[in-house]
Amino acid sequence: MLKDITYNKRSNSSFTIYIKEDDSFEPYLAIDNNYSNGVLLLRKYLLDEEVIFSDQKSQGSNGGYYPTSNVDTYLNTIYLSKLSSELQDMILDATISVSTLEGVGGGGGIIETENIQRKIFLLSATELNIKSGMASKEGIPLDYFNKTDNWIAVNKNGEARNYWLRSAYHWDDIQAWVIASDGTYGGASVSSTLAIRPAFCIPGNISIKEENVNGESVYVIS
């Protein structure tokens, strides 16, 4: 079952599962066994298509508010449609924490959060173990990101790229958190076009099997 191969910092075993997107299998990392009552899957490679976080460019527009962002819409429409209907039925409605609309541009200090439900989502600054007055506490830190090298993400060609997190960057209301290609982090204008790394949850008791994918024996969801 999927829960049997999930990431464990005390084990060197594989925690990679292959999932079909359109006509090809893509690797995902099973990085947490109890995220919103499921196994958290994080795409190993950044998507080829880069997107803006929000098209809100003016101060006071709260462009850093994730629930109404362009990237949230993209993930739960265009990206979701790349997955098979069978897999879509497996994906849980995960509960994730985000900054409130009122708190998006709140500056440093404690910012209120709210819970929303999404099938597909981005991870937060908190979940990557980033502690900053410019980020709300959204969720809990994930063990997988205790190693900061794991912040860096690449595309299928091995090129590291800047990519979005779901967290508003509280310096102002039109910035969101970004992990840079060198593993540093900070805020970027929400109108920037950057890479994304989808995440979602499925039940841990889903069956997996070994199959040959591109000449390699790997785990796939059966």
**Below-70 pLDDT ranges, the chain:** 10-12, 107-110, 222
State residue 187 phi and psi, 5-degree precision. Answer: -105, 155
R_g (Cα) of the chain, nearest Å = 17
Question: From the CB of residue 212, how many other CB atoms can be counted at a distance below 10 Å?
Answer: 9
Looking at every residue in the chain, the average pLDDT score rounds to 93
CB 170 within 8 A of CB 151: no
Contact 143/40 with Cβ under 8 angstroms? no
